[in-house]
Structure 1
Amino acid sequence: MRIQKLEYRSQNTEVRSQLLTFFISIFLIILFSCNPNREAKLIKFTGEAQGTYYAVTYFDINGRNLQYEIDSLLEAFDLSVSIWVPNSIISKINRNDSSVVPDEYFSDIFNISKEVYEKSGGAFDPTVGPLVNAWGFGFTDRMKVDKKVIDSLLPFIGFSKVKLSNKKIIKDDPQIQFDFNAIAQGYSVDLAGKLLEERGITGYLIDIGGEVLAKGNKPNGDLWKVGIEKPKDNASYGEGLQAIVELKNKALATSGETDIEAYFIYSDDNGNIKTFFTKGFESILKEEY
């Protein structure tokens, strides 16, 4: 009988000890999570997406590195609308693969592009793919461009010649191609920002190929600062800044590179020097004397 009582007391003491340990652990977790003196940890990482770079910087009190989630998000996005991925949805549509079904990313960007195309009077046109490729800015080598080449491509340009119906892209001509690069990077920046906010991140800076989104402040109250490089020929990376911009809850878009001209100069058969510029879905031929 005495042995049974001792065993009972021993078991009872063990249960009490376990309960005490449990409640102390809960108390410490609550105390630690509510500690206002905890410092947010700076998290920075870079990677590749949409044929360019990306860089993410944020502060997290839990010190979480969310690069895997960001990479997974951007990879899924690339598989939808990146012309640099051969098996992406947009690449298959450009090849007239009738089996492909536009996903949510493609459909949303298509509808936004259509709205901007109409409101801009055609100045914004994601069907400029053939012209982009002809000038060598796309995924093919640059052609020998002249007015005849441009005129031959213009019939395949125009967002009014395509439509999205019953989860299918319908083209007036199979040679029409999409290029969403003018909107895709900014869209993906918003997606990455949404992911961070869903994880409780309130202060961050995201840069995807020059499309920048800044949210909140740094822990010390400072604003995010973005440097804009000087547009100097043959300048090395980071050689000098034209300006430093402070951002909070704002986006900033930059475009172009100092060592790549946005136009081409060539001599025609008569020896005249000509320069081609692109504007909207048209190409403007400018003669220089």
Structure 2
Amino acid sequence: MRVLSKFKGFLFSLFFGFLIGCGESASLREHVYQGGALGTSYAIKVFTADTTDLQPAIDSVFRVVNQSLSTYQPDSDISRINRGDSRVQVDKMFAEVFEMSVQIHGQTEGYFDPTVGILVDAWGFGPGAALEMDSTRVDSLRQYVGLEKVRLTPDFRIAMQQPGMRLDFNAIAKGYAVDRLGVML
């Protein structure tokens, strides 16, 4: 829940700052946009004199991000890759998030690792069913963890050295979605 609260707070701060930068007007009105994306919900408040309905554009951004990066959608690119579908050709968004993850993985000496998807699911924090966990189970699942075992090929496919590995970009995808919303606005 803390992550959800921080995500909502970050969205609010982003849009509040965006609006302050647009200048003041005596006829500002509050517009609230709500929905679900990336396995959570969002609420965006915009204060503007403009009456344009932003909901379709917001929904469009989240739809594209979800289709690429959401582990909560069974037909998303990442879900198909996690099921072992090597035919998936990822989009630019997926490639950007993958490359950012590789960079952050290196900067944190491996502490940030989006290949922990199998552990996230095993502990019951992802879309998969929780397992009975003990040190033996954790040790057996760790063989499926390690970003150095995954690469983005020149034809935009994900190649994994170890079948059964699962990517989980949820630690970075929400911030990426906010960045995409900022570009849209």
Shorter-chain TM-score above 0.5: yes
Q: Is the 8 A contact 2:87 2:157 kept in 1?
A: no
> Aligned equivalents of 1:153 and 1:107: distance in 2?
26
88, 94, 106: which is aligned to 2:76?
Answer: 88
Aligned counterpart, 2:157 = 168
Aligned partner of 2:49 among 61, 73, 93 = 61
Partner SS for 2:43: strand
> Which residues in structure 2 correspond to 1:106-255 (within 5 Å)?
106-166=94-154, 167-196=156-185
Cα distance, 1:147 vs structure 2: 0.8
C-alpha distance in structure 1 between counterparts of 2:25 and 2:153, whole Å? 55
Deviations 1:183-228 (A, max 9, x none): 00011011112211xxxxxxxxxxxxxxxxxxxxxxxxxxxxxxxx
**Counterpart of 1:45?**
33
Residue correspondence of structure 1 range 73-84 to structure 2 within 5 A:
73-84=61-72
Query: Helix, strand or coil: the match of 1:45?
Result: strand
Q: Cα distance, 1:139 vs. partner? A: 1.2
Give the TM-score taking structure 1 as reference length: 0.54
- Identify, as 1 or 2, the structure richer in strand: 1
Equivalent residue letter for 2:115: T
Structure with the greater alpha carbon radius of gyration: 1
Structure 1 CA distance, aligned partners of 2:127 and 2:30? 37
1:151-191 deviation line (CA, Å, top 9, x unaligned): 10111101111010111111111111100000000110111
Letter paired with 1:179: D
Q: Could you tell me which amino acid in structure 2 is paired with residue 39 of structure 1?
A: S
Q: Higher relative CO (CA 8 A, sep ≥ 6), structure 1 or 2?
A: 2
C-alpha separation between the residues in 2 aligned to 1:155 and 1:177? 11
Are the equivalent residues in 2 in contact too, given 1:40–1:63 (CA < 8 A)?
Answer: no
> How many Å separate the matches in 1 of 2:111 and 2:25?
52
Paired with 1:165 and 1:50, the residues of 2 have a C-alpha distance of 25
Cα contact 1:42–1:63 (8 A) shared by 2: no
Equivalent residues of 2:86, 2:159 under 8 A apart = no
Larger deviation, residues 55-64 vs 84-93: 55-64
Native 8 Å contact 1:156 1:175 kept in 2 = yes
C-alpha separation in 1, matches of 2:26 and 2:160: 57
Report the alpha carbon displacement of residue 41 of structure 1 after superposing the two structures with TM.
2.1
Distance in 1, matches of 2:170 and 2:140, equals: 23
Q: What amino acid maps onto 1:177 in structure 2? A: R
Distance 1:72 1:147, change over 3 A: same
Runs of at least 4 residues of structure 1 off by over 6 A? Answer: none
TM-score normalised by length of structure 2: 0.83
Alpha carbons of structure 1 residues 59 and 156: separation in structure 2 relative to 1, 3 Å? same
Structure 1 residue matching 2:127: 3-state secondary structure: coil
Unaligned runs of 5+ in 1: 1-35, 197-289
In the aligned structure 2, how far is the partner of 1:61 from the partner of 1:107?
Answer: 37
SS state at 1:48 partner: strand
**Count of aligned residue pairs for this structure pair:** 161
